[in-house]
Structure 1
């Protein structure tokens, strides 16, 4: 039993190592030149470090920069030896030259002197926390020793002190959020509201590797009183929809709209004006061809307003449905619309496999006070549907315009 438990723990650590490290060592070497050029504005202003070093070889700062650049360029053993010699000489002239310390640390690591490399990296970190490659090495070393708190601490330092680290570290950290040990440490880190926190949450909502994991992570954050902006929660709903995970999407959608009922459409009176609607909310659609579509407030509640120039048509409004099999009625009321029957807008319910389940025409406002109604049948092979309002192209010079004051799709 103990052997099996130990094996599981070892496997867990191994998985965590892959998740957290994410090939950081290899990436760090590749980024060496980029990192050094980003941190050397003053040296580059004077010309290349090589020329500056030739002019002032006793300036430890310039020597340290040159050493780092030579070592990161990976020109072979001879060049690395030269870089190490310059780095040592630079530290004699300038003991606080961080690039020189980092150069020697990487050189020691490459030569297999791990204990010496760690000592140097720790010293580099003590001198300055703005050296990204030092933080990357310390992250990897912490993971190697299964020290998750220390790894997250260095993630925090790297992300706070080096904005370019976002692109490098966010994908790796995003893949780790489902690990309970990592979450346990990450939560208090995010609770301190670091400058990178909101950007990381936004990254998860738009680019996270698994929207199901992201939804679970956001639930845990909210449970721990950490604010997740609604735009990011909506982003996860839409990511789940895009992955055809409709039931998961609905379950998470209900954390935003707790009163929502999947047996009918939502917001019949257009009362919600959302900055970030999900697929389950009314979503106005506009186009470059002049179609306009907006949800507007009125004295009573709200209204959907649309217009299209002459000869232009298309989708102006839609909402995703997850209706169980059965018969449904669509009923509502329009205003302003005045078109021939052939040019009248219409509602259509489409199964997500592309099948059309029926249409309901929107009459002129003068006809029965703009009221409209119709029925649809949803079968078992259609678990998700989209309700859309379509504007037909009109030959009228003024085009098509109108408003929908009320619309509801519900079981018969």
Structure 2
């Protein structure tokens, strides 16, 4: 390093408090500028979504300045930082960190031309400066060039480790707009390094499950990097936001042999690493086991424990069904034996049936039920009851299934 550059670096090593203050101001301003940018993109197509992303859009600059003063007590720290930055640039005109501080100050002062000159120069020096890249996004949006804005999103995500924290939520929400979704898909077709992380975030975040599903479906021919855990997260997110039909269609598109009007995996033989709510979810007191080349559910519950042992959601169409199964429990009283139930999401119980007890061999059981029109999703669950016996309750379920009556398929 030359003597001049060493001096420049030394000048720009601000005291700890000042450096922290400037970093905080950069973060605050960057957050509001980014939100304003996204709102400007979205408001052309969907004002409602834009208001969700940045409800303060009309006064974003004033809010950024207000936040900066609230956090720092006054603008003096930014002014001191800007003075230090100018000193650094005199010694080293390529000090992009100093340019970022000056760009921040220009933004807070609403000096558009100065901001443009500073950040444009910063980008000529380095593609990796996130504050300057966020400014480039805003510039593209102001020109109405969504493609250029997304290209800058891409560059930021390729060159900054922290860009995903800022931009992934924005991109995920923006997937609700078809025009933006298609351009995001165009970026993903190039297989950027950030694609798997973005798919994982969008699938699991619950910010926009429907838009994420549309992106994945529309990009199916492009072999997007959708991992099994991403599929699981997206199905569960769709159910969480009550998009039951969409959740089932996506689930059935990759889980072979499933029927909407019946439960699944009646003998607990499936070994699914990334189980969704439409698969069996077991508690710590229950497990699937092999016995004489047959699969079954086994459970062992400590005394006084009330536990949800197993659950599987279904989206059965309205109609008549039969809940049937076979199993046994070690309980000695009907009030202590575990039981199966089928309930609607609002808590209405459609069926309840106890496991057989007081027998060494599994016994069959069955119950007829009706799924009403206003019950779009149902939970099939095995519950335990509290027992005082020191040995608790154990048992097995060899089979459990819901089937439509009348041979409907």
Q: Please show how residues 74-93 of structure 1 align to structure 2 within 5 Å.
A: 75-76=74-75, 84=82, 86-93=84-91
Q: 1:385 aligns with which of 357, 378, 387?
A: 378
Gap change, CA 1:125 and 1:208, over 3 Å in 2: farther
3-state SS of 1:276 partner: coil
Partner residue of 2:402 out of 405, 409, 412: 409
What's the counterpart of residue 163 of structure 2?
A: 165
Per-residue CA shift, 1:208-257, capped at 9, x if unaligned? 42322222122123232112122222222222222223222222222232
The residue correspondences of 1:45-64 to structure 2 (distance < 5 A) are: none
Structure 1 residue 108 displacement after superposition: 4.4
Aligned to 2:36: none
Is the partner of 2:397 in helix, strand or coil? strand
Distance (whole Å) between structure 2 residues aligned to residue 134 and residue 19 of structure 1: 25
Counterpart-to-counterpart distance in 1, 2:150 and 2:343: 47
Given candidates 322, 325, 331, the residue that maps to 2:318 is 325
In the alignment, which residue of structure 2 is the partner of 1:351? 344
| Alpha-carbon offset, residue 86 of structure 1 | 4.4
Q: Give 2:150's match in structure 1, choosing from 149, 152, 172.
A: 152
1:348–1:357 Cα contact (<8 Å) kept: yes
Report the CA distance shift for 1:14/1:183 in structure 2 as closer, same or farther (over 3 A).
Answer: closer
Deviation at 1:266, TM superposition (A): 0.9
| Aligned counterpart in structure 2 of residue 284 of structure 1, from 282, 285, 293 | 282
Please state whether the residue corresponding to 2:325 is helix, strand or coil: strand
Task: Determine if contact 1:318/1:389 at 8 Å carries over to the other structure.
Answer: yes
Give the corresponding residue for 1:226.
Answer: 224
Q: What is the rounded CA distance, in whole Å, between the counterparts of 2:320 and 2:361 in structure 1? A: 24
Aligned position for 2:196? 198
The root-mean-square deviation of aligned C-alpha atoms, in Å, is: 3.6
Matched, 1:185 2:217: no
State whether residues 174 and 208 of structure 1, in contact with CA within 8 Å, keep that contact through their aligned partners in structure 2. no
TM-score normalised to structure 1 length: 0.75
CA–CA separation in structure 1 for the residues paired with 2:180 and 2:42 = 16
- 132 and 261 in structure 1: CA distance in 2 versus 1, 3 angstrom threshold: same
1:294–1:185 distance in 2 versus 1, CA, 3 Å: same
For 1:274 and 1:236, the matched residues in 2 are separated by 16
> Alpha carbons of 1:205 and 1:17: their partners in 2 closer, same or farther (altered >3 Å)?
closer
Q: Deviations over 1:2-37 (max 9, x none)?
A: xxxxxxx9973685995999569759968x99xxxx
CA contact (8 A) 2:43 2:49 kept: no
Deviation at 1:94, TM superposition (A): 1.0
User: How many pairs are equivalent?
Assistant: 359
Q: 1:375 aligns with which of 368, 376, 379?
A: 368
Question: Structure 2 unaligned runs (5+)?
Answer: 1-40
1:176 and 2:153 matched: no
Q: Is the 8 A contact 2:340 2:354 kept in 1?
A: yes
What residue number does 1:361 align with?
Answer: 354
Give the equivalent residue in structure 1 for 2:330. Answer: 338
**8 Å contact kept, 1:21–1:139:** no
Matched residue, 2:44: 12
**1:235 and 1:301, CA in 2 relative to 1: closer, same or farther beyond 3 A?**
farther
From 200, 211, 214, the counterpart of 2:212: 214
- Report if aligned partners of 1:175, 1:209 keep a CA contact under 8 Å in 2: yes
Residues 95-114 of structure 1, C-alpha deviation per residue, up to 9 Å, x if partnerless? 22112223343444555653
- Which range is displaced more, 257-266 or 357-366? 357-366
Structure 1 residue 396, shift from structure 2 partner = 2.7
2:61 and 2:110 in contact (8 A); partners too: no
1:262-300 alpha-carbon deviations (Å, 9 max, x no partner): 2111111222222332222111134xxxxx122345674
Alignment partner, residue 258 of structure 2: 260
Report the TM-score, using the length of structure 2 for normalisation: 0.75
Pair 327,93 (structure 1): closer, same or farther in 2 beyond 3 Å? same
